[in-house]
Chain A
Amino acid sequence: AQSVAQPEDQVNVAEGNPLTVKCTYSVSGNPYLFWYVQYPNRGLQFLLKYITGDNLVKGSYGFEAEFNKSQTSFHLKKPSALVSDSALYFCAVRVPWRAGSYQLTFGKGTKLSVIP
């Protein structure tokens, strides 16, 4: 089955330290990969995506992600974490669906806590 996996339920990092939220994928063909962030009682907000091109993708709020085809990974990173980055992060991949259409399949989410 084509999917994404987020192996960590929770990531804790000290404010000012670099952060990484992991995501691996399993799809046939070229993957279209996404990261979304969700603050409490809010909808998901788009952070960044990889469709094609440079393996290092820069997104909103200083986040970036590195596409690694050999490791089938798309880890989210930020050089210096802020307390305000504390939220739930979702990785997603576009997968073929019915009648030639596509949909996004989401990972189970990783809760990021940045400690002051």
Chain B
Amino acid sequence: SQTIHQWPATLVQPVGSPLSLECTVEGTSNPNLYWYRQAAGRGLQLLFYSVGIGQISSEVPQNLSASRPQDRQFILSSKKLLLSDSGFYLCARATGDYGYTFGSGTRLTVV
């Protein structure tokens, strides 16, 4: 199984509040993991990439950070949310056939 679990499915947070979105994966160990943001139901923006525990690459400087405390756990965080952080956040893992498997996503609305 290469299932990806993301939670929560929906989140409404006030501006300035902290954020923690969690992604856990099943299957093979040491997967490459990704966080994407999708605004307005359109294109995907790669936010972070991780090849292993404690190894995070950031693609876009912003208000967000990521951590990988365990092999199959990938966390997206913010200390203070902005309105512009609203969007649909997707976690993905690389599969053995060169593609990705995606989680079901988290809809974040910052109010």
Contact = CB atoms under 8 A, between A and B. Distances in A.
- The binding surface of chain A is classed by DSSP as strand
Nearest to A40: B41
25 contacts: A34-B99, A36-B102, A40-B41, A41-B88, A42-B104, A43-B4, A43-B6, A43-B90, A43-B103, A44-B100, A46-B101, A49-B97, A49-B99, A51-B97, A51-B98, A88-B41, A88-B42, A94-B98, A98-B57, A101-B51, A104-B99, A106-B44, A108-B42, A108-B43, A109-B42
Interface residues of A, number: 25
Interface size class of chain B, counting residues whose CB lies under 8 Å from the partner chain: 20 to 34
- The binding surface of chain B is classed by DSSP as strand
A41 B97 contact: no
B90 A44 contact: yes
B109 to A, nearest CB: 12
B49 interface: yes
A72 to B, nearest CB: 19
Contacts of A51: 97-98
B81 to A, nearest CB: 20
Interface string B27-49: 00000101000000111101001
Contacts of A40: 41
Interface in B48-62: 49, 51, 57
Given A34-B99, A43-B103, A43-B105, A103 B49 contact: yes
Nearest to B91: A43
A102 B105 contact: no
A49 B105 contact: no
Given A49-B97, A108-B43, 18 more contacts: A41-B105, A42-B105, A43-B90, A43-B103, A43-B105, A44-B90, A44-B100, A44-B102, A45-B102, A90-B44, A94-B98, A101-B32, A103-B34, A103-B46, A104-B100, A106-B44, A109-B42, A109-B43
